[in-house]
Structure 1
Amino acid sequence: MSEGTPDAPSGMPDVLDPKRYDADWRAEVARRWAAQLSTASYIPLSRETVEQTLQELVDRVVGALDDPSTVDEVGRTVGSKLVEMHATGEDSLPLSLNLLRDELVQLPGNDAVRRILGLVTAVAAGYAAADRESTFVQQETLKKALLRSKLKADRELAASEARFGEVFTTTPIGVAICDLEGKFVQVNPAFENTLGYQAHDLAAMTIHDLFHSDDAEYLTAAYRELAEGGSSKRLSDRKRLQHATGEEAWVYLAVSVLRGSDGAPRHFVTMVEDITELHLLQDRFQYQALHDALTGLPNRQFFHTRLEAALANLPNDARLALYQLGLDGFELINDGLGYEVGDRVIKAVARRLEQLVENEEGIVARFGGTEFAILLWQQEKTPPVTTLTQQINDLLAEPVYVGDQGIAASAGIGVVERMAADADAASMLWAADVALRRAEAAGKRQWALFDPDTAPEERIESKLAAVMPGGLEHGEFEVLYRPLARMDNGALVALEAELRWETSEYGTLEHGECQRLAERSGVTLSLRDWMLETAWRQLCEWRTAGYEVQLKLSLSPNQGQDPDLAAVIHRVLDSCDIDATWMRLCLPMAAISGDHEEARDNVRYLNSRGIKTSLHGFHGSADELRLLRDLPVDSVRLSDDLVDLVHAAESADVPEVQAIRSLVPLVEACGARLWVGRIDTAEQAATWHEMGCEVGAGAHFGEPLFAFDVPDFLGPEG
């Protein structure tokens, strides 16, 4: 190094120009650097500021050459400062690098270093130019992509708005958009058509103006809750809105909230679908489901509901009376005059019953067929039961004229009275029905008040009649055999088949109770067929074992009147190879009397098959005696009530006994024999034998036998 020049740091290459430590030199380098940069790019600074800035950079570059640890930092600072000065022209970087190279590296003997630095300068310049070009291309590509995306988004938005506009305009669902105050922003044609308003009408209104008065409070609160973000995010309900005509319009209403980008509610969307016709149709269906189609009166279901409501809402001490009516002999009107006339009478009865209670707190219903019901809240002005039942029949007795024919009706009436606190609907309806059945059993135009003392027995009987089919299905019935014997010597004449029902809850029911309950249930014919088949099969087994005995089977009225009786007997007889004469059928007098000609034909047919026929329930009337002459009947059994009358008589000389005694020769004159039952003692048997009766049954001749006991009873010879 030359004298006077500061020592360079140790290890510093000798290619560096020592003039770099001269302040004037640095200022000159900065001046030339500024001049060259001004040719490559526009720098929006004064020349003095540019030179001062570049001189500071030269000072930092020189300092970095003396301290290699700061080279990277200073290099980044110089490059950043040039960009900050906007010295970013295409040639700014190579001009700057070449100037620093020429000023900092000595010229003599350093051509290789200069070439290397020139190559580095070229590489840096090429890289910067390419990077700048790449950035430009990317920017252009991004700008084009953004432009295409915007154009696509604009097209899709336009298409979406067009689709929304088309749907909004053409949908049959009414749609209205309104602000949070309820003012209309936009409505579609369907909304206008549904409610009868024009858009200019709605512009001066709010959605609240359309609420029906009965639903306004509810809907206002619902809209408010939606706007406040309550638990419900959507309202869906059937409600009434106010039509422009002033009528109510039933609509299916769906309301939701439109929110802004910040999530805050901005608008309500209200959709309405006109369901007025559907609502009217449903109302009609509901009315039909709760009312009788012929009379328009409430039906049993509606009556039951009203009865429940009355019991729940009336004071505990309110007294209710339930009248259940059954029209007497109405089949005569239908059969004689036709069902159209019958319907006119039913309508007239309905109107008259309504008229009867029009000034009372009550309701009239038709339960179906010929049964009606009246429910009354008994107050001071309400007639007592005895008076009202009389008024009912007096009112029904007024003729209904069809042409020149006047037709009157009467009714059996069952009545039950209850305090509201002590009653329930089901038990009152049941009690009224029980009372009606008792009134009908007493005759026409009768009424009966429900008797709570007999209620348990009546309920049990009703239950037994209802479960009888199940009892038959589950094998709870069996057939027993009661001996019929001669009065004089007790010799066996026949075995009479009897039913016995071993119920799981109410013990054993004997034949009479079984037949009576069967008449009330739908099992009477099934029970008959089962008894016939079981008893005949048992007789076949006894005959096979060598026992000969005649089988007698007694039927109830419905069983004896069945048109298919002869066919059933025919099928039973053909089930095994035994002569039909071993069967004796005993039919009730009620089954073959009157207009039951088909039942009488069955008797004749069975006789032709060799089956002997008896009649039971004989009272000795002229009609019964005439039947004995007309039909092939060889015996009759006296009615049990007449037998009891004889047994209760103080002596054989009383008129009743003498009258019954006179029946014996009358029956014999008709070609039949008289039998009696309920013979419990030898004295009774002697009395009846003395009166001319040949055959009897009862405890005196033996209790009913199980099938497996019959062989022992018959003895070893059968």
Structure 2
Amino acid sequence: MTVPFPESGRPPAAVPLSPAERAKARAKLARKWAGQISTTEYVPLEPEEFQRTLDAMVDALVDAARAEPFQAHPATAHGAELVAAGCTGPAALQHTMDVLGKGLLALPELAGLPRAAERVVLLLGALAAGYSEAVRLHTLSQQDTMLKALRVALQDTRRELVLAHGRFEHLLAGTSSGVAVTDAEGRFTLVNDGLAAILGQPKEELSPGSLFEVSHPEDVAALRNAYRSLLSGRVARVRNEHRLVRADGERVWAMLSLAAVRPGEPGAQLVAVVEDSSELKLLQGQMNRQALHDRLTQLPNRQYFGSNLERVRRQADPSTGITLYHLDLDGFSLITHGLGRGVGDLVLDTVARRLKAVVAGEEAMVARFGADEFALLVRNGPGTPDVVRMIQRITAALAEPLYVGDSGLAATACIGVVDRPARDLTAEELLEAAELALARAKRNGCAQWALYDPFQDARDREWASLAAALPGAWETGQLTVTYQPLSTMDGERLLGVDALLHWDHPRRGPVRHELCAELAEQTGLIMTLGVALLRKACAQLRDWRERLECDLPVHVPLTANQAADPDLVGHIRSIVDSTGLPADRLWLGMPAPALVNPGGEAAENLRLLAAAGVRIELLEFSTTAADLACLEDLPVRAVRLAGWLVERQAHRTGQDTLVAGALRELSRLVRATGVRVVVAGVDTPEQAEWWRSIGADAARGGHFAPAGSPERFEELLKPPSG
């Protein structure tokens, strides 16, 4: 088709655009075209290649629209090109018409072109015709290809069917699992040798029967439900544990897998695969028992005991309740270390049997919680012994000697008891309460027992929560170092400063140094915390020496574990070197009980530190001969009297008691050796005067000044005004 020139006889004048602008407008139209098609069609080409294809088509269509004479048939090839690019869906043609129908007319190059709309319509019509013809040819090609593929697939299927039948026969003959094909009523139509072996009868005898006949009567109903679900098509496969009955009447545990063939159709069949799991069931039972019982004593373990505790607690008579005993053998490691692990196991087994004998007449359970810990749970009845008599029986049973070779062994135990607990306590809370009661019993020594006390339990839990929160308190700055002056007994002169821990607990309030140190000792934080305290105290003293010309020594108390730390000497040398503090300005307090062994690590640390110039004072010093021996054998410069002695005397100030006389004599003996006597906890003028009267050299306490921040201590260093 051709279109004549306008009346002027010349082609229309082109819009005055640069080549770059024209290319940009065409590319924008092509991108929009590609985007519309890609959102609804799968295009097998890479996005860049597809974009280049559409760019070329847009260029060709614009050139065809502007060509003179105008011809629309070249656009037919572009429709076929779209199909070749993989755009064969109906949406592709629709998006092409929508985008190009508007987009071509909007191009500046076609603006002002006479009969532009007519030309665009004719071009798009030709493109659509080419697209439709290409789609028709493409469809015919696909149908032909598919027909050929179907012929090949049919041939392959026939071959595979023959091979599958052979493989199925081979599988039936070679597998140890039982396989059967049944009709909808469960009657066997095919049985392999494996199923015959599992059921203990020949295949010929099985064939007339059904799967329901060889199933355990209690499992038949579940099997019929499975058949109905499979035959109706509601489920595709059923697999569960099933019991079969052998020809000799023996029960067989099996894993039964069922699948339907042509469910919902006439003549539907089911394939059953039977795996004998009798041995696995037996092994599983043994493993379950091992998981819930102690291997050595065969007693229930903590997990099983806890679950049983919950059940017994619910079922117990409210008037009698239950009683829980938690035992920990005393000194059991001495047996294993001295006589070997085998003897230790024999003792544990003997303890288990004797504890079972103690409660043989009761509704009770004995368990081993691990290592040398046992538990007894008694469901109390009218004749059940009370706690005291039951503990007497336990103690008597354990005390009976067990002879191993020439050794007669006997066991004692600490026991925590929870008797008739409140019914609102959970099993876990009961076990925790018994553990806390046991811990209190062990603090009192060997062969002790303690009864659960809710108020004491709350205090123990508070103590445990403080210990657990201590590391975080140091990290967050709640735990700080405070300083308390050490003064002469008249308070006129400062002799030094004690560096002490102080915990400003958000709920409990201030926690003093002694409790902080004890908590750190229990949690193992004392090693890290002690070094940090030493470093901070020495750095603070160096600052005071430089700024205030203060030459007072700093006293830092150590715990027993710190005193025996093999790295203590190295830490002290590092701190003294890094701070530049003279060694004799550091006084370390070591607990006297930790120094009883003259060849121990603590005593060796003391000697090495004293030789390096560090001053040593004995803490917790009392009237014992062991403490006096430490004073005589070790290079110490001061003793700090035990806190319990100071507190005792604080309540008897002015009384001439036996302890007061001993303290006077002790002070005289200490001062006779040239060692200073220091008292901590002097809070009143009367106390200060009494300690001065018996010869104490220095003291700290509320009477002189409380512990405080470095800034507060600096106030004491300033000379009085006037």
Same-fold status (TM-score > 0.5): yes
Shift of 1:620: 1.2
What aligned pairs does 1:320-359 form with structure 2 within 5 A after superposition?
320-359=322-361
Q: What is the CA deviation profile of residues 236-258 of structure 1, one whole-angstrom value per residue up to 9, with x for unaligned ones?
A: 22444445676554433211223
Shift of 1:588: 1.6
Residue of 445, 453, 461 corresponding to 1:443: 445
SS at match of 1:208: coil
Residue of 180, 184, 189 corresponding to 1:185: 189
What is the alpha-carbon distance in structure 2 between the residues aligned to residue 334 and residue 164 of structure 1?
62
**Contact 1:226–1:256, Cα closer than 8 Å, also in 2:** no
What is the alpha-carbon distance in structure 1 between the residues aligned to residue 649 and residue 154 of structure 2?
117
Q: What is the CA deviation profile of residues 151-202 of structure 1, one whole-angstrom value per residue up to 9, with x for unaligned ones?
A: 9876554333222222333344432222333332222233344555442353
What aligned pairs does 1:406-445 form with structure 2 within 5 A after superposition?
406-419=408-421, 421-445=423-447
SS at match of 2:683: coil
What is the alpha-carbon distance in structure 1 between the residues aligned to residue 492 and residue 251 of structure 2?
89
Partner of 1:687: 690
1:561 maps to 2:564: yes
Q: What is the CA deviation profile of residues 346-378 of structure 1, one whole-angstrom value per residue up to 9, with x for unaligned ones?
A: 222222112222332222222222222111111
What aligned pairs does 1:598-637 form with structure 2 within 5 A after superposition?
598-637=601-640
**Contact 1:315–1:420, Cα closer than 8 Å, also in 2:** no
What is the alpha-carbon distance in structure 2 between the residues aligned to residue 150 and residue 653 of structure 1?
118
Q: What is the CA deviation profile of residues 495-524 of structure 1, one whole-angstrom value per residue up to 9, with x for unaligned ones?
A: 111111223333321212212222332323
CA shift in 2, pair 1:645/1:151, >3 Å: closer
Shift of 1:702: 0.7
**Contact 1:320–1:420, Cα closer than 8 Å, also in 2:** no
Partner of 1:169: 173
Deviates more, 1:312-321 or 1:459-468: 312-321
**Contact 2:231–2:268, Cα closer than 8 Å, also in 1:** no
Shift of 1:491: 1.6
Shift of 1:288: 3.6
SS at match of 1:256: strand
- How many pairs are equivalent? 570
AA aligned opposite 1:365:
A
AA aligned opposite 1:660:
L
Partner of 2:529: 527
**Contact 1:314–1:420, Cα closer than 8 Å, also in 2:** no
SS at match of 2:477: coil
Q: What is the CA deviation profile of residues 554-608 of structure 1, one whole-angstrom value per residue up to 9, with x for unaligned ones?
A: 1223333333333333333333222222111112223222587122111112212
Percentage of pairs with the same residue? 38
Partner of 1:667: 670
AA aligned opposite 1:254:
S
What is the alpha-carbon distance in structure 1 between the residues aligned to residue 334 and residue 492 of structure 2?
49
Deviates more, 1:575-584 or 1:306-315: 306-315
Q: What is the CA deviation profile of residues 329-357 of structure 1, one whole-angstrom value per residue up to 9, with x for unaligned ones?
A: 22332333333333322222222112222
SS at match of 2:420: strand
CA shift in 2, pair 1:596/1:441, >3 Å: farther
**Contact 2:178–2:193, Cα closer than 8 Å, also in 1:** yes
What is the alpha-carbon distance in structure 2 between the residues aligned to residue 150 and residue 609 of structure 1?
99
Shift of 1:642: 1.3
Partner of 2:207: 203
Shift of 1:661: 1.6
SS at match of 1:394: helix
Deviates more, 1:549-558 or 1:384-393: 549-558
What is the alpha-carbon distance in structure 2 between the residues aligned to residue 218 and residue 584 of structure 1?
86
What is the alpha-carbon distance in structure 1 between the residues aligned to residue 550 and residue 205 of structure 2?
103
What is the alpha-carbon distance in structure 2 between the residues aligned to residue 415 and residue 433 of structure 1?
9
SS at match of 1:549: coil
Q: What is the CA deviation profile of residues 405-460 of structure 1, one whole-angstrom value per residue up to 9, with x for unaligned ones?
A: 01111111111123563321122112111111111112221111111123322222
What is the alpha-carbon distance in structure 2 between the residues aligned to residue 184 and residue 386 of structure 1?
69
1:258 maps to 2:257: no
SS at match of 1:700: coil
Shift of 1:314: 3.9
What is the alpha-carbon distance in structure 2 between the residues aligned to residue 595 and residue 177 of structure 1?
87
Q: What is the CA deviation profile of residues 457-504 of structure 1, one whole-angstrom value per residue up to 9, with x for unaligned ones?
A: 222211121222222233321011111111144421221111112233
What is the alpha-carbon distance in structure 2 between the residues aligned to residue 171 and residue 341 of structure 1?
51
| CA RMSD between the two structures | 3.0
Larger Rg: 1
**Contact 2:316–2:322, Cα closer than 8 Å, also in 1:** no
Partner of 1:40: none
Deviates more, 1:407-416 or 1:165-174: 165-174
What is the alpha-carbon distance in structure 2 between the residues aligned to residue 540 and residue 248 of structure 1?
86
Q: TM-score, normalised by structure 1?
A: 0.73
Q: What is the CA deviation profile of residues 61-91 of structure 1, one whole-angstrom value per residue up to 9, with x for unaligned ones?
A: xxxxxxxxxxxxxxxxxxxxxxxxxxxxxxx
Partner of 2:660: 657
CA shift in 2, pair 1:375/1:491, >3 Å: same
Shift of 1:654: 2.2
- Structure 2: give runs of 5+ residues left out of the alignment: 1-149
